[in-house]
Amino acid sequence: MWQQLLDRMLSRFMREGELGVDFPDGTSRRYGPGGGDAVRIAIADAATVRALCLNPDMGLGEGYMEGRITVEGDRLHALMVLLLRNRRRAGLPGWVRAATGARNRLAAWVARNTPERARANVAHHYDLSNEFYGLFLDSDLQYSCAYFPRPGLSLEEAQAAKKAHIAAKLRLERGLHVLDIGCGWGGMAITLARDYGVRVTGVTLSKNQLALAQERVAAAGLGDRVALRLVDYRRLTGPFDRIVSVGMFEHVGSAHYDEYFGQLERLLTDDGVALIHTIGRVQGAAMRAGWMQKYIFPGGYVPTLSDVARPVERTGMWLTDLEIWRLHYATTLAEWRARFEARLDRVRAMYDERFVRMWRYYLVACQATFEVDRQCVFQMQFAKRADAVPLARDYMVQAAARARHAAE
């Protein structure tokens, strides 16, 4: 029964390209009109067929991770691109969409990011070994979208360009006090203190990140200008002249947006500037992908601009600048994937094959989503006063160019 149902689902779903499927009973089928990319998968058992029918997102992710779904030629990226393109054209059956919507509503109700739950969620992902992240990130351990203003940049150069771009939007002056919410391994805090002469307070919920970040601050001789703490942003008191947050807003949870932006306003000085860098969606309601929630980012949520607009409006702050980065994260993820695959022997020395397949699936799925599924990065600049930043954007370009020139 389940194989027949999956056969009907795929027959309706595949509108472009070709998907070949080897079923566990030995039969094979081809779906789609052809004429584009062709990918072939093999399904090992009936339980996986059933899982794909009931919850395609979870069934595919778990099936690949556990080796019950294999992709011919290891062309996982081609498979994800093919499926995402067809999902945009055909969508999933109505009953699957209804079940997914119900699960999303339940997840939104259950997954309240209280300070205690937020710390557990962060530990799930970020308290893997620092050595592991060092295998595929750049030398500064920037675990967020890099900025590629021109072709041919290395990952290290693009991450440096990202930090310079953000610093330009913050309008930094020597002696200002900057809050870094979600400071990670300390790269942003060190760069701002060292290159711009500011004081930085950084907060994180990851013990592993904090320990290494503090070591890096000490090694850089910046202990008098950078203070890093293991504390939830909601428990801070200000004021701060500048606030920066890179790659943390995705973990706030939509139920807490009023709380987040209210705290942002309370922490910021009257003439202060804040810069939030986050993954976002430019179309449709942001969905909570079940596999990603369970295995990679529990409590995570990718917002649309409409999700953000009302909570910001209720604070009274100005959205003084909005920039949407297209495809920069796809390029970043491609760099991370290449480094991850090049160091598989070292990854396997740390973790088992299931972990390897889980992280490969995560990196590939994210890259494909940024390539074809209208996911992007929002950089949002906020201020309490309309004149807190210049009225024309030229200052950002000029300051970023000066920073790049000084670095080079």
Residue 249 above 60 pLDDT? yes
Exposure of 277 in the CB half-sphere (CA atoms within 13 A): 26
Per-residue pLDDT band at 109 (split at 50, 70, 90): very low
For the segment 373-392, the average pLDDT, to the nearest whole number, is: 95
CA dihedral for 299, 303, 309, 315, sign (positive or negative): positive
pLDDT-above-70 percentage for the chain: 88
- pLDDT digit string (tens) for 20-72? 999 999 999 999 999 888 999 999 999 999 999 999 999 999 999 999 999 99
Q: Which amino acid is at 336?
A: W
Q: Which residues pair with 69 in a beta bridge?
A: 43
Q: Please state the φ and ψ torsions of residue 148, each to the nearest 5 degrees.
A: -115, 80
| Residue that has been written with the tokens 């893997």 in this structure | 128
Whether 366 is catalytic = yes
The pLDDT assigned to 103 comes to 43
For the segment 301-324, the average pLDDT, to the nearest whole number, is: 95
The pLDDT assigned to 92 comes to 54
Side-by-side strand order, sheet with 38-43: 28-34, 17-22, 38-43, 69-71
Q: ∠ at Cα 277 (308, 190), nearest 5°? A: 145
For the segment 382-398, the average pLDDT, to the nearest whole number, is: 92
In sequence order, what are the residues at sequence separation of 6 or more whose Cβ sits closer than 8 angstroms to the Cβ of residue 68?
Answer: 43, 44, 45, 47, 48, 62
Q: ∠ at Cα 150 (146, 151), nearest 5°? A: 90
- pLDDT digit string (tens) for 330-352? 999 999 999 999 999 999 999 99
Model pTM score:
0.91
The pLDDT assigned to 128 comes to 78
Maximum C-alpha span of the chain: 70
DSSP output for 291-347: HHHHHT-TT----BHHHHHHHHHHHT-EEEEEEEE-SHHHHHHHHHHHHHHHTHHHH
Q: What is the CATH number of domain 115-407?
A: 3.40.50.150
- pLDDT digit string (tens) for 169-188? 999 999 999 999 999 999 99
| Residue that has been written with the tokens 């939509």 in this structure | 254
Q: Are 265 and 367 in contact (CB under 8 A)?
A: no
- Chain-centroid distance of CA 335 in Å reads 15
Find the catalytic residue in 53, 145, 183, 366: 366
Q: Are 67 and 42 in contact (CB under 8 A)?
A: no
In sequence order, what are the residues at sequence separation of 6 or more whose Cβ sits closer than 8 angstroms to the Cβ of residue 45?
Answer: 24, 68
- pLDDT digit string (tens) for 192-215? 999 999 999 999 999 999 999 999
The pLDDT assigned to 363 comes to 98
Q: Which residues pair with 380 in a beta bridge?
A: 276, 322
Nearest Cα to 383, choosing from 243, 206, 259, 247? Answer: 243
What does the alpha-carbon distance between residue 214 and residue 372 come to, in Å, rounded to a whole number?
38
- Range of weakest confidence among 113-122, 132-141, 358-367: 113-122
- Range of weakest confidence among 54-58, 219-223, 394-398: 394-398
| Domain coordinates in residue numbering, the chain | 2-109, 115-407
What does the alpha-carbon distance between residue 39 and residue 77 come to, in Å, rounded to a whole number?
10
